[in-house]
Chain A
Amino acid sequence: MAMDINDKHRLKNRLLKAGHLIALFIAMCIICVPGLWVVVNSFRPTVEIMAKPPVWIPTEFNLDHYRAMFGAVGEGGIPVVRYFTNSLIISVTSTLIALLVGMAGGYAFARYRFKGKAAIFVGMMLTRAVPGIALSLPLFIVFARVGIIDTHFGLILAYVAMNVPFTIWLIDGFFRQVPKELAEAAEIDGCTRWQAFWKVEFPVAKAGIASAGIFAFLTSWNEYALASQLTRSVNSKTMPVGLLDFTSEFTLNWGGMSALAVVMIIPALILTFIVQKHLIAGLTFGGVKG
């Protein structure tokens, strides 16, 4: 009798374990397959992508789509290299500025007590909540008047504003993790507040600030709604806008679009690997202990 119950228990445990693994496997497949599908197709010849019935096991991998994409500039092709450099310049610059502004703001929120702190914080977050496409209407009018439509500067400005609230949230969270006493001890030892910040607090929160930067970079790198209206030509068009160019110009060039998509995702993926740990820490500390 006792054996029986034990066996039943063990069986139930095994089934639970198997169910757990199967569910996990399916979930991971759903997460990975769409991206892999795009990557695989970027290496397949168009004939094979279009084949009916479908070809499941690729017979041939080549770099034709990549060659066409990078080679066809000026022949009606998409100037991918220009889009890539635009994206890079705009994202990096706006990230650096957003970090500086965010560090000052985050430090203020983490270390000072002042009236209306919570209200100011939520107010800043609300500016981030404004839908990009709704904000693009007046920005388009203003930028057109000032003459910064279709320039790097215009988009950088817009992205700094877009990133600042979130950078402040994250950096605030990281500064809170640095004990106040550390900086106070440095001040007693004769440092000014400015010195104490650079010598004590900044080094401790450095890794976290870097992740905030990477997050800001990715937001700019991936942004579409504002970029689609504030850019006009190769002067300032970014990669996401370029991807949509592809849909209108070559409706059926799935392989080419996949190749462009891969080029777009590589920097994002590399950066993700670097940040993952700090990013979660920043969001939860800023959020939970705020």
Chain B
Amino acid sequence: MRRSKLPEWFVLLLPAFIILAAVVLIPLVLSFYSSFTAYRLTRPDSINNWIGFRNYVRLFEDAGFWWAFGRTVFLLTIALNLEMLLGLGLALLVNKVTWGQRGLRTIMMFPMMFSPVLVGFQFKFIFNDNIGLMNNALQSLGLTDQAIPWLVDGGLAMFSIIFAEVWMSTSVFAILILAGLFAVPQDPLEAAKVDGCTPWQTFRHITLPFIMPFIYIALAIRSLDVARAYDIVKIMTNGGPANRTELIWTQLARTGYVDAKMGLANAMGYISIFLAIFFTVYFFRKLNASRQILGMAD
């Protein structure tokens, strides 16, 4: 390596650069190009049919697309906030346990390892209006005598999907926040006790600032794979009933593969990519800022 003129760090990173360029960057250039064409899968030469911004204009005028877009942002906002709050709560609960904490931590990690498709199937089963655990339990307890159409009613279906999404990802937050709680120094906590702070004040002014970077790590990790919600929706409702749970990802899959309108789907794809990148950059910035406050950056 010493003989080559390239710096060592570059040589070390080269394999990563090559593979990411081949599988991600170059295809993305292609999809960017094809989003300006009327490319249809059924007619391969239509990729040369340049139509300028017409795909994007069509999307901007399409109310169905904006509904899907809005629904996606809504789902992500609700899910990420709930996951963060529940994860924080769960971490605090587990942190207080003095006996059997290891076991609890292991259980907490379960949902993280489930395939999103599996999570979707599991909740499709549980929320099934006829034989699902949810309705069976509610009926057996006498809380209701009818079958609640969890996945058939638009609003309830969205709720069920958010439930599945939150179930799957809360543990990411809980685990990382718990790691943060372990790292909180004990001295200021004891000083606060001596000074007569209430538990809430101690939490708000000492614990929380220390675990903030950990919360942002969790958010940053989550923002990398927000699109996993596609798998859940695909198996639970496939965008139905009557498009009421249609997300930007399910819509783009349908446009691209079922309707074979690749050009239009790629235009949608680009909008979904910018959405994902927005979330990621936002949380990575927050992470950096909170690291700086604690003086942990190098």
User: Which A residues are closer than 8 A to B by beta carbons?
Assistant: 20, 23-24, 27-28, 30-35, 37-38, 41, 49-50, 52-54, 56, 100-102, 104-105, 107-108, 112, 114, 120, 122, 124-135, 137-139, 141-142, 157-158, 160-162, 164-166, 168, 193, 218, 221-225, 228-229, 239-240, 243-244, 247, 254, 257-258, 261, 264-265, 268-269, 271-273, 276, 280-281, 283-284, 287-290
Instruction: Specify which of B16, B25, B111, B216 lies most central, judged by the most chain A CB atoms within 10 Å of its CB.
Output: B16
Instruction: Report whether B257 and A229 are in contact in the complex, using a CB–CB cutoff of 8 Å.
Output: yes
A243 proximity list for chain B (CB < 8 A)? 117-118, 121, 235
Which of B52-60, B92-100, B154-162, B189-197 lies at the interface with chain A?
A: B92-100
Chain B nearest CB from A46 CB (Å) reads 10
Give 1 or 0 for each of B205-224: 1 = CB within 8 Å of chain A CB: 00000000110110011011
In the bound assembly, the distance between CA atoms of A61 and B216 in angstroms comes to 45
Instruction: Report whether A133 and B253 are in contact in the complex, using a CB–CB cutoff of 8 Å.
Output: yes
Instruction: Report whether A104 and B13 are in contact in the complex, using a CB–CB cutoff of 8 Å.
Output: yes
**What are 20 of the A-B contact pairs (CB < 8 Å)?**
A31-B111, A34-B123, A37-B126, A104-B15, A107-B12, A129-B225, A131-B269, A133-B249, A134-B227, A138-B34, A157-B19, A161-B19, A221-B115, A224-B117, A239-B115, A244-B234, A272-B113, A284-B180, A288-B296, A289-B296
A33 proximity list for chain B (CB < 8 A)? 133
Instruction: Report whether A105 and B15 are in contact in the complex, using a CB–CB cutoff of 8 Å.
Output: yes
- Beyond A105-B16, A224-B115, A224-B116, is A288–B110 a contact (Cβ under 8 Å)? no
Residue ID in chain B nearest A239 by CB atoms: B115
With an 8 Å Cβ cutoff, the count of chain B residues facing the other chain is 99
- Beyond A49-B131, A287-B213, is A124–B20 a contact (Cβ under 8 Å)? yes
In the bound assembly, the distance between CA atoms of A128 and B179 in angstroms comes to 24
A268 proximity list for chain B (CB < 8 A)? 113-115
B262 proximity list for chain A (CB < 8 A)? 137, 141
A276 proximity list for chain B (CB < 8 A)? 105-106, 109
Flag whether B169 is at the interface (Cβ < 8 A): no
Residue ID in chain B nearest A17 by CB atoms: B96
- Beyond A161-B23, A264-B118, is A269–B113 a contact (Cβ under 8 Å)? yes
Instruction: Report whether B115 and A240 are in contact in the complex, using a CB–CB cutoff of 8 Å.
Output: yes
Instruction: Report whether B30 and A24 are in contact in the complex, using a CB–CB cutoff of 8 Å.
Output: no
Which of A27, A254, A265, A284 interacts with B90 by CB under 8 Å?
A27
Which of B93, B221, B227 interacts with A132 by CB under 8 Å?
B227
Sort A-B residue pairs by CB-CB distance and give the 5 closest, nearest first: A131-B227, A222-B115, A161-B23, A134-B269, A138-B27
